[in-house]
Chains A and B, each alone.
Chain A
């Protein structure tokens, strides 16, 4: 197995040599150095094994052993018709990426207010390298995270957003990442950079889907810089097909009084790792980290939270709910680090899980590291089944068994929806969740409830 993995690292080396000399921005010394350092680091550490504490519950050998082709090298295209089911209404923009590469033709960008820049990262690198250099690669921890190092080595395209000081963009921005092409296993390394200046407001959604994709690996990374007094909502929607691998890392850098909400909804994929890493680097900043993961079959859904409190008077609240059926395996790892200066920190963490079958599994692990002395940190985790007494209570009032079960599951999922701001994005997410439930019941041959 080690030999096979070595060989795969060899494949990455081959891809990288070609990529390094031709990728967008290869002539920029800082960018070339960033990629080369990241690749060197990746080669040094390789793919993590379950001996590494942060990966104890998630075995990535299926990723390590698959000989992926770099997605961007093939020029597969999609028709607008194929994208129809993934279109959204009421968005300021929907950027479409096909196997990691931005597609101008498929994207829809409306008239934007002054002070808002939305484009592909490759274009941003080419047209404004100096501005890009100020932020790109400054926040992601490639020393500690192998997948972030790998992403950085192969970074080229993804979503780029810049919101100027005081600008409020009320309509959301969608990034739609489509994996496609069943002929060969493909890897893509979407890289997003979102920079919001002081007192701005933004809602951005990363939406991962598959269209006839076969075995695909999305190794995504996002650097989100939330300026002082900014108000930012970020959503991750993972709904790729059940052959997909998805590792995504969201690194948030929060300024003074910045208010950020991260919502993750994992519905698809076979092996999924969702890293959320906010650093509360400005006094008085606040972060909500909200998530829902729903797995069945043999899905493996791993949520790794790392919340760093670096300054005083910051708050963070983590709420993750998991619903697991069949042989699905869920992981919640919630790490909170309170640095020495971060007095008056208020950090809270809650992970609640419903297991719907005897073979479903959840590993939940809180990890608190507190170096300040005047802080409030709480954590809690629960694992349970559908409450039989609640089920009987509902049925005793005339509600049939299937509807009663659905009601209880949706109520559990709704706890996460309730933390999202009411509006079109939440309605969109709600519809996806309901669709996910219906799929499950359809598969089990249960009648379908009209909700």
Chain B
């Protein structure tokens, strides 16, 4: 059984059709990259998978571990192992990063019938994961979630959360944007350390560069709400060389004239 099956997914946002029939199958342990020009629907797909409710699914279905993902609330999907690393992580003043992460981990543990972790047990775990991402302890322990974090710190914080919550399906939404090459290496190391036969990734990116560090099994090109090409890792290199132009031509030819 595949981990994720997206079938003919159509999504409207504010009355506009953004996704126009997505089909995608992700098996356990695979890394899929979704590439495409800005505005092609990549982030919409990522948010729908994390169950953002304001996005209106007009047709199609998503099966996650054989269950109807679209019937789940965001917290239910999260407890079942879906994780989205946000393109724009949200600042939450007044809640410390450590408290937030422990609340999240405990919510997930509770849903799985595990005991909640107290602060004493949680801290060593958090420290270990933070060290992997070379994050300053002060940032994690004392500061409010993402508040006054630099762009790079926010993205690392997303990966830190992923490392703590250990999802089955991780969706990285343009985690590379705004990162310098050092930060990108650190983030990629964090992601690669988590690759396992039990865990799948969907890496959404605009640039091929990230894929030098996180090498995908499959690359899909999303243009104008449709996946127009799929291939192996070498497809990303081709796109880097030729740009999205040819793919966009393909998208146009695939659309019947109105």
Contacts and interface: CB of A to CB of B under 8 A. Distances in A.
A396 B144 CA distance: 18
B93 interface: yes
A398 B78 contact: yes
B94 A400 contact: no
Contacts of B54: 388
Q: Most chain-A Cβ atoms within 10 A of its Cβ — which of B53, B86, B91, B95?
A: B95
A393 B75 contact: no
A451 to B, nearest CB: 10
A396 B92 contact: no
Interface in A382-406: 387-390, 392-401, 403-404
B92 A411 contact: yes
A408 B73 CA distance: 19
Q: Most chain-B Cβ atoms within 10 A of its Cβ — which of A393, A394, A396?
A: A396
A352 B111 CA distance: 35
Nearest to B105: A398
Contacts of B144: 411
Interface in A364-422: 387-390, 392-401, 403-404, 407-408, 410-412, 414-415
How many A residues touch the partner, as a band? 20 to 34
Contacts of A414: 94
A399 B92 contact: no
B75 A399 contact: yes
A398 B103 CA distance: 9
A387 B161 CA distance: 21
Contacts of B91: 390
Given A392-B52, A392-B74, A393-B89, A399 B94 contact: no
Contacts of A415: 93-94
Nearest to B108: A398
How many B residues touch the partner, as a band? 20 to 34
A395 B53 CA distance: 11
A396 B50 contact: yes
Given A393-B86, A395-B75, A400 B93 contact: no
A30 to B, nearest CB: 50
B211 interface: no
Contacts of B92: 390, 393-394, 408, 411
Nearest to B94: A411
A392 B86 CA distance: 11
Interface string B88-126: 011111110000100111011001000000000000000
A401 B75 contact: yes
A407 B93 CA distance: 11
Q: Is the interface of B mostly helix, strand, loop or mixed?
A: mixed
Contacts of B89: 393
Contacts of A407: 95, 103
B168 interface: no
B104 A397 contact: yes
B109 to A, nearest CB: 9
B70 interface: no
B84 interface: yes
B241 to A, nearest CB: 36
A265 to B, nearest CB: 17
Nearest to B161: A397
A389 B103 CA distance: 18
B165 A397 contact: yes
B90 A398 contact: no
Contacts of B50: 396
B75 A411 contact: no
B95 A411 contact: yes
Contacts of B78: 395-398
Interface in B35-85: 50-54, 73-75, 77-79, 83-84
Contacts of A412: 94
Nearest to A388: B54
A155 B77 CA distance: 63
B17 to A, nearest CB: 22
Interface string B161-180: 10001000000000000000
Q: Most chain-A Cβ atoms within 10 A of its Cβ — which of B73, B89, B107, B161?
A: B107
Contacts of B86: 393, 396
Contacts of B107: 397-400, 403
A411 B93 contact: yes
B59 to A, nearest CB: 23
Q: Most chain-B Cβ atoms within 10 A of its Cβ — which of A388, A403, A411, A414?
A: A411
Interface string A287-329: 0000000000000000000000000000000000000000000
Nearest to A407: B95
Contacts of B84: 396
Contacts of A411: 92-95, 144
A389 to B, nearest CB: 5
Contacts of A410: 94
Contacts of B75: 395-396, 398-401, 404
30 contacts: A387-B90, A389-B90, A390-B92, A392-B90, A393-B86, A393-B90, A393-B92, A394-B92, A394-B100, A396-B50, A396-B78, A396-B83, A396-B86, A397-B100, A397-B161, A397-B165, A398-B104, A398-B105, A398-B107, A399-B107, A400-B73, A400-B75, A400-B107, A401-B75, A404-B75, A407-B95, A407-B103, A408-B95, A411-B144, A415-B93
List the 10 shortest-distance A-B pairs measured between CB atoms, nearest first. Answer: A411-B94, A397-B104, A398-B78, A395-B74, A393-B90, A398-B107, A398-B108, A395-B75, A411-B95, A396-B74
Given A395-B74, A398-B107, 6 more contacts: A388-B54, A390-B92, A399-B103, A407-B95, A411-B144, A415-B94
